[in-house]
């Protein structure tokens, strides 16, 4: 069956890293524009992590339903 097993989740680590990196860079850009000292960078990191965690939970929930 295509798309099953560990290879199905191989890209999740890369997705986590890229999402957090993009959100942190966006937060740094906003900090420079607004003149704050890292507030939006931290919020970006938290938003990126939270969004990736949400996507991971949805993917695992979908895989659990498909496995039954």
Q: For the purposes of burial, counting CB atoms within 10 Å of the CB of 59, is it exposed (0-12), middle (13-18) or buried (19 or more)?
A: middle
Residue 15: count other Cβ atoms within 10 Å of its Cβ. Answer: 14
Rounded CA gap, 9 and 16, in Å?
12
User: Does pTM top 0.85 for this prediction?
Assistant: no
Question: Domain segments of the chain: what residues?
Answer: 12-61
Rounded CA gap, 29 and 35, in Å?
10
Taking only the tens place, the pLDDT of each residue in 13-24 is: 788 889 999 999
Taking only the tens place, the pLDDT of each residue in 5-46 is: 676 667 777 888 899 999 999 999 999 999 999 999 999 999
CB-CB contact of 56 with 14 (8 Å): no
């Amino acid at each position: 069956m295509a798309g099953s097993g560990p290879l199905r989740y191989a890209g999740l680590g890369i997705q986590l890293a890229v999402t957090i990196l993009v959100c942190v860079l966006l937060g740094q850009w906003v900090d420079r524009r607004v003149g704050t000292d890292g507030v939006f960078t931290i919020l970006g990191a938290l938003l990126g992590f939270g969004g990736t965690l949400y996507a991971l939970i949805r993917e695992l929930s979908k895989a659990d339903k498909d496995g039954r």
